[in-house]
A and B are shown apart, each in its own frame.
Chain A
């Protein structure tokens, strides 16, 4: 059963086409890593999945929530977009934690505001999620008091707090010092082992080899090549993939 289905997704910024017809299906519990040179459209693609960018054309389905482009942005459509987002945990490159809230308040915010969960329950849930990402002892710290790796793990806990069907990561370790990358990837790997469906845009090849079920190589707004990591990395079929891999190594 596929959890994500994307058909013919197109997006342009002004006259500049960024996505030029992307199709993708992701199965339940599958971990998909998207790679590609900067400007290839991979981040835009991920942001379109949760309508942080509105695509110009195409269809997106996440779980039972299906959205086609071109609808009038009325009350009903706004609600549909919100429903899609609730089921999609999004992790940003720059964390985007709420700086005026403690770690636990960051994680409680979604359940409180969106699901109207009682504060006591939300706190319990948030605490268990922070324990899960290894930050049970940092609940009352403000983001400014946490390292980048810790902040990103709080952000992952926050994304998990709404019990999403899929998790999307937009270069989750690109803003981190090298020694902090591992702790974040470890958390993502654990989620993969638990069977979370995930799409991850990253440059971490070893991580992709280790965790991904499928690697997608994007360039020029299209999917150039995809397959299991071993095939794509060791025996790339396309010239563009080969060139990128040599550059990256």
Chain B
């Protein structure tokens, strides 16, 4: 293995890392919105939407992400919905992570002590006020560790999108290997980049968790 190969391939790999970050970032945002709203729908037992949300979560959690990606990219065009690879990737990743986040949010809201809701409504708050001001802030703190887990999985899952020709980190690695025949070196660099990315996010979320738990420190 030669140092020059590393130096030569690094710019391309870092460029592809930006695509990985882009896919992760956008998908996290969509997933948060999807996860949070479906969690609320299930907790409030909103008619019809409750069933839709439950089926969505069950289907997504019960099928492999790779299959979901294929259905969206190769399957949907058959019924007239053609998305480019990046949009398909984002859609698959968002829908997938959304289902897991939904369960995290739901569990964390239900984990807040029942007495908190009682205290809030006994003062005369509406259900919405109690949720917004009392329950949700507390549930968010409870949710952070599992959210953090889902984020990690999401960042790693972006590598699956390489199969529909999105040039993210893994796809770029394979392209470079096709030219250099140095799979060990290049894949190890790719692995290192994933690792650094994820360490960065985990540290960030840990900090956030510590900050939001300051009231628990004696």
Chain A interface (Cβ within 8 Å of chain B)? 50, 52, 78, 82-83, 85-86, 88, 90, 92, 94, 96-102, 109-110, 113-114, 142-145, 158-159, 162
Contacts and interface: CB of A to CB of B under 8 A. Distances in A.
Contacts of A110: 123-125
A99 B124 contact: no
15 contacts: A82-B124, A85-B124, A92-B119, A94-B115, A96-B113, A96-B115, A96-B119, A97-B119, A98-B119, A99-B215, A110-B123, A110-B125, A113-B129, A113-B133, A162-B123
Contacts of A50: 122
Given A92-B115, A96-B116, A109-B133, 9 more contacts: A85-B122, A92-B118, A98-B116, A98-B138, A99-B216, A101-B215, A110-B124, A113-B129, A145-B218
A191 to B, nearest CB: 18
Contacts, number: 69
Interface in B104-160: 113, 115-116, 118-119, 121-126, 129, 133-134, 137-138, 141
Nearest to B121: A85
B215 A144 contact: yes
Contacts of A83: 124
Greatest chain B CB density within 10 A among A92, A109, A159 is at A109
B122 A90 contact: yes
A86 B134 contact: no
A114 B125 CA distance: 6
A94 B121 CA distance: 16
CB-CB nearest 10 A-B residue pairs: A86-B124, A96-B115, A96-B119, A142-B215, A90-B122, A85-B124, A110-B123, A82-B124, A100-B215, A114-B124
Nearest to B215: A142
A100 B116 CA distance: 11
A78 B115 contact: no
B138 A100 contact: yes
Given A99-B138, A109-B133, A113-B133, A144 B218 contact: yes
Contacts of B137: 100
Interface string B172-213: 000000000000000000000000000000000000000010
A52 B120 CA distance: 11
A144 B217 CA distance: 7
A176 B171 CA distance: 62
Contact of A82 (B113, B115, B126, B133): B126
Contacts of B115: 92, 94, 96
A163 B212 CA distance: 31
Contacts of A162: 123-124
Contacts of A82: 124-126
B122 A100 contact: no
A97 B129 CA distance: 16
Greatest chain A CB density within 10 A among B123, B129, B138 is at B123
Contacts of A88: 122
Interface in B55-106: none
A144 B215 CA distance: 7
A113 B125 contact: yes
Nearest to B134: A98
Contacts of B215: 99-102, 142-144
B211 to A, nearest CB: 12
A95 B76 CA distance: 55
